């Protein structure tokens, strides 16, 4: 899923943007703050932030690219300082909640106030405890492993690698259960964390952390979940068709005693530890007819591409749209390969260390077609970062948190056979009869993910609001997974299992709705850009490569950053302020017709 999510840098940068002044900015102690006070506060806050965000970013980069005792200590120090400053500035911003200010000032105040993920209480003992719990949960996940009866221990990476290719249901179940032992001890800590963070949220004027999270999207906290369900209803029929086919093929492969055809799919059989994307079981569910699918990995190797050449080719995609080339420092300072003799974070990520031009990517690039796509995706983040660099500091970010991921994925959607032929990686474009296989591969990764991307925060919002008790955490998790995904635990789960903690983003407190939004928006962006580029073919065959008109339209949206509600940014590119998942149906139309044929005699649903 590397193309669906970014590193924690995204969260860290949001912290550095919102809270690293050398001392907490104080407003005048006047009994009634004024609009002028609010403006002065924002000016001072942004000046303070400017002083600290660059060294903080360098500390995090140093740790990510050279993990050792010293870089860890410096990075941890900045994390602690920044989280404290976020809290101080957010609470200062909250003092202006009832002050009559202009729209722009209110937007900046809200960005400061909403900049926290788990807001610490004012009580320093409680704040320290909250920070300690966050650190402990991350450490428990990071150090997690499963040790088998023969004494051999498996890391998550090792188990995930095997689950992608192993077709032994018993071994898959063993790994699935084994990894979830890691999260079981997290449950009491997580419940305590929720309680403490809700105290901090109340001090900011929110009912709870759930309201804070749901209120970051230029609409009311009550309206936002309804908007997500509306979007899901547009995707659901196609997802159900994909689910029906996949369940039938898994039933044929493993036997219907293992995969009942009238129940949700057992979660350990979908090629992924969390059943969040299904691309690894393509070999089981693919169409049976002979198909010609471009082998990009073989083409890269045959033509002698190395890691730098792959990045240079991705840069040329953006240059063909009219974007300025990347700065020389990008090539000097990025990490393209895993260095010898030191530990690094290989997870692909895009960085902007100075909020201006110090753009970088961090990857341990493999010379594969998948990594070729990832590089295009990551550069999408970099070009977005550079586009909004001239905005005021508080507006340097994506219109909402789904936009950043969506831009990278939108670019990756243009890596079609048409594009591959134009850059000389393939000689001929396979005819449309081959599209079913390629669309199936995309759907197994992207469409299969959408309900998972939706339900993670559906669970968290109920937990963070106190709507469910800790004893109900695990039951709610599986209720939502069955409702949205049609997957079920392969064995009965106890109430104290805390299976949500087996997914990194839960103990790390990384909001997840951004990934759901990105999977909707990328297809909407792709269609708008293809229309602007004048491509009249099927949407799944379109590439905007070489269209300066499309590049200009894209850049106009990117330059807005966070300066206006995301609805305005969306309308700038698509002509509509509403998110619309109907473009997914258009993109996958040939596959949907094929799935309907396959499912004609099957019992679908769960």
Q: What is the pLDDT of residues 488-505, one digit of tens each?
A: 999 999 988 999 999 989
Active site residues: 378, 505
pLDDT at position 40 is 95
Instruction: State the virtual CA torsion across 350, 355, 357, 362 in degrees, nearest 10.
Output: -20
Dihedral sign for Cα atoms in the order 243, 248, 250, 256: positive
Average pLDDT over residues 63-77: 87
Highest mean pLDDT: which range of 26-30, 155-159, 567-571: 567-571
DSSP 362: E
The confidence band for 1, taking pLDDT boundaries of 50, 70 and 90, is very low
- CA 510-511-512 angle, to 5 degrees, is 110
C-alpha closest to that of 225 among 434, 602, 517: 517
Q: Tell me the residue length of the chain.
A: 606
- Note every long-range contact of 167-174, with CB atoms under 8 Å and residues 24 or more positions apart, other chains counting: 167/253, 167/284, 169/254, 169/258, 169/268, 169/269, 172/268, 172/269, 173/268, 173/490, 173/491, 174/148
Q: What are phi and psi of 410, to 5 degrees?
A: -60, -45
The confidence band for 31, taking pLDDT boundaries of 50, 70 and 90, is low
* Strand partners of residue 17: none
Query: 3-class SS at 359?
Result: strand
- 16 pLDDT higher than 60: no
pLDDT at position 2 is 36
487: which residues sit within 8 A by CB, 6+ positions away? 264, 265, 266, 267, 270, 275, 481
Dump the DSSP string for 402-431: HHHHHHHHHHHHT-SHHHHHHTTS-SSPPP
Q: What is the pLDDT of residues 289-336, one digit of tens each?
A: 777 778 898 999 999 999 999 999 999 999 999 999 999 999 999 999
Q: What is the pLDDT of residues 595-605, one digit of tens each?
A: 999 999 999 99
Return the axis-axis angle of helices 35-65 and 103-113, rounded to nearest 10°: 40
Average pLDDT over residues 44-57: 84
Q: What is the pLDDT of residues 108-150, one digit of tens each?
A: 999 988 888 999 898 989 988 998 898 889 888 888 899 999 9
CA–CA separation, 135 and 519 (whole Å): 30
- 105 pLDDT higher than 90: yes
Dump the DSSP string for 439-453: HHHHHHHHTTHHHHH
C-alpha closest to that of 247 among 288, 281, 274, 290: 281
Q: What is the pLDDT of residues 335-350, one digit of tens each?
A: 999 899 888 888 889 9
Q: Which pTM value belongs to this model? A: 0.89
Dihedral sign for Cα atoms in the order 61, 62, 64, 70: negative
CA–CA separation, 507 and 500 (whole Å): 8
CA–CA separation, 415 and 317 (whole Å): 10
Query: 3-class SS at 565?
Result: coil
- 434 pLDDT higher than 50: yes
DSSP H helices, 257-399, are 282-285, 296-302, 307-320, 328-333, 369-387
The residues spanned by each domain of the chain are 2-109, 296-426+514-587
Q: What is the pLDDT of residues 360-410, one digit of tens each?
A: 999 999 898 889 999 999 999 999 999 999 999 999 999 999 999 999 899
C-alpha closest to that of 581 among 458, 435, 406, 418: 406
CA–CA separation, 402 and 140 (whole Å): 28
């Amino acid at each position: 899923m590397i193309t669906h999510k970014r590193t924690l840098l995204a969260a860290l940068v949001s912290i550095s943007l919102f809270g690293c002044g050398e001392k907490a900015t104080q407003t005048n102690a006047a009994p009634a703050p004024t609009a002028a006070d609010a403006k002065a506060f924002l000016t001072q806050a942004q000046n303070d932030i400017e002083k600290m965000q660059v060294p903080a970013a360098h500390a995090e980069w140093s740790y990510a690219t050279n993990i050792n005792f010293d870089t860890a200590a410096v990075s941890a120090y900045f994390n602690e300082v920044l989280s404290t400053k976020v809290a101080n500035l957010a609470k200062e911003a909250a003092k202006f909640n009832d002050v009559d200010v202009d729209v722009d000032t209110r937007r900046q105040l809200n960005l400061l106030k909403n900049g926290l993920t788990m807001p610490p209480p004012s009580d320093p003992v409680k704040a320290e405890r909250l920070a300690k719990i966050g650190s402990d949960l991350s450490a428990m996940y990071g150090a997690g492993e499963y040790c088998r009866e023969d004494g051999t221990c498996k890391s998550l990476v090792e188990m995930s690698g095997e689950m992608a290719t192993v077709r032994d249901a018993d071994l898959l179940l063993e790994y699935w259960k084994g990894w979830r032992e890691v999260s079981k001890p997290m449950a009491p800590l997580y419940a305590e964390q929720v309680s403490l963070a809700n105290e901090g949220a109340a001090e900011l004027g929110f009912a709870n952390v759930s309201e804070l999270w749901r209120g970051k999207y230029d609409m009311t906290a009550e309206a936002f979940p309804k908007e997500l369900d509306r979007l899901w209803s547009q995707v659901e029929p196609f997802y159900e068709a994909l689910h029906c086919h996949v369940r039938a093929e898994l039933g044929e492969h493993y036997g219907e005693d293992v995969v009942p055809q009238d129940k949700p799919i057992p979660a350990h059989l979908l090629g992924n530890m969390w059943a969040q994307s299904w691309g690894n079981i393509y070999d089981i569910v693919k169409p049976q007819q002979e198909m010609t699918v471009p082998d990009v990995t073989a083409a890269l190797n045959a033509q002698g591409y190395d890691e730098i050449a792959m990045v240079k080719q991705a840069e040329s995609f953006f240059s063909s749209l009219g974007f300025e080339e990347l700065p020389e420092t990008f090539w000097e300072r990025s990490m393209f390969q895993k260095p010898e003799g030191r530990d690094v974070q290989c997870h692909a990520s895009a960085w902007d260390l100075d909020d201006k031009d110090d753009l970088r990517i961090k990857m341990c690039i493999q010379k594969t077609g998948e990594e070729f796509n990832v590089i295009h995706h990551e550069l999408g983040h970099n070009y977005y970062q550079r586009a909004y660099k001239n905005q005021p500091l508080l507006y340097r970010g994506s219109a909402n948190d789904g936009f950043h991921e969506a831009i990278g994925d939108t670019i990756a959607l243009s890596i079609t056979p048409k594009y591959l032929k134009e850059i000389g990686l393939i000689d001929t474009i396979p005819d449309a009869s081959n599209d079913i296989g390629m669309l199936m591969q995309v759907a197994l990764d992207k469409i299969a993910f959408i309900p998972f991307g939706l339900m993670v925060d559906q669970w968290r919002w109920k937990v963070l609001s106190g709507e469910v008790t800790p004893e109900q955490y695990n039951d709610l998790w599986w209720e939502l997974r069955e409702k949205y995904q049609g997957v079920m635990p392969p064995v009965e789960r106890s109430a104290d299992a805390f299976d949500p903690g087996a997914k990194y983003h839960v103990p790390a407190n990384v909001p997840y709705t951004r990934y759901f939004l990105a999977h909707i928006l990328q297809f909407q962006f792709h269609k708008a850009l293809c229309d602007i580029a004048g491509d009249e073919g099927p949407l799944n065959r379109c590439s905007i490569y070489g269209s300066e008109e499309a590049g200009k339209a894209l850049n106009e949206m990117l330059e807005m950053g966070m300066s206006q509600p995301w609805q305005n940014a969306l309308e700038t590119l698509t002509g509509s302020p509403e998110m619309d998942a109907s473009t997914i149906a258009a993109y996958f139309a040939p596959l949907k017709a094929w799935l309907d044929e396959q499912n004609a005699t099957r019992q679908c649903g769960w």
